[in-house]
Amino acid sequence: MVKVRYSKDKVNFHKFTHIVNDHFPKALRQTFRLMWDRKFGSVQPWDDTEAVRKSLAAKEGGTTKVPTHQSYEEWDCTALFQATIFAQSFALPDSTGDYKTLSDLYVKPLGLPHGAFHASVVSSSGDDDETVALAIDQLRLLRNSSSHPAKDEMSKGTFNQYLELVKDAFKALGLKTDEIDAIGSEVGLPTSEVANLEREIQNKDMAIYRLSIGVGLLK
């Protein structure tokens, strides 16, 4: 069996993809639960039951992009962003008394250019809600940066930069970064990503084979 060798840039890309796909949802899920329990825990702590998920839906006005019919263990990053910085449940009053989501209150006014990241996710005024909003939004920006790449490669410089941004966001949310550090120090790919990459290569090879048959290149 031929052993496939991956370029360093390809390894960097798939290591970061592994962080986004496996560790971002866990971090966001933990953050959501902490946010919920801090605000509503005295009355209805988050236990992931149908009743508490219906309560979330009701607080969102009865319509929400969060799949409250499913366990929050099944929510992906998009759903968890909707459940936190874009949620009416955690809206706060602005200077006029109007309630706004954390994103509308703390993120949108910054007018961050497309493709840019927050220079800091720690509130300059010591506002804990702002720190949470900026940290979650930083994870959203990082997730978006790897969602539709022109190619599945990432330079070492970009990988290191993104890794530091991830760790800063995790620390601001009070989360451990041990596993992120471990992935960053790995020479190769995490085992799960090796399997995914090999499967991806096999699928591409099969697609080329089928196309070749279709146009009569193979006899």
Q: Is the pTM of this model over 0.75?
A: yes
Backbone angles phi, psi at 187, to 5 degrees: -75, -40
Q: What is the pLDDT of residues 111-129, one digit of tens each?
A: 999 999 999 999 999 999 9
What is the average pLDDT value for the chain, to the nearest integer?
A: 87
Which stretch of DSSP H or E encloses residue 157? helix 156-172
Residue 146: band (very low, low, confident or very high) from pLDDT cuts 50, 70, 90: confident
Residue 26: what pLDDT? 97
Residue 148: band (very low, low, confident or very high) from pLDDT cuts 50, 70, 90: confident
Residue 211: what pLDDT? 46
Report how far apart, in Å, the C-alpha atoms of 74 and of each of 2, 39, 45, 48, 214 are: 37, 23, 19, 11, 39
SS3 159: helix
Residue 117: what pLDDT? 98
What average pLDDT does this structure show over 68-97?
Answer: 97
Q: Which of 16-25, 70-79, 161-170, 180-189 has the lowest mean pLDDT?
A: 180-189
Residue 152: what pLDDT? 87
Strand partners for 93: 99
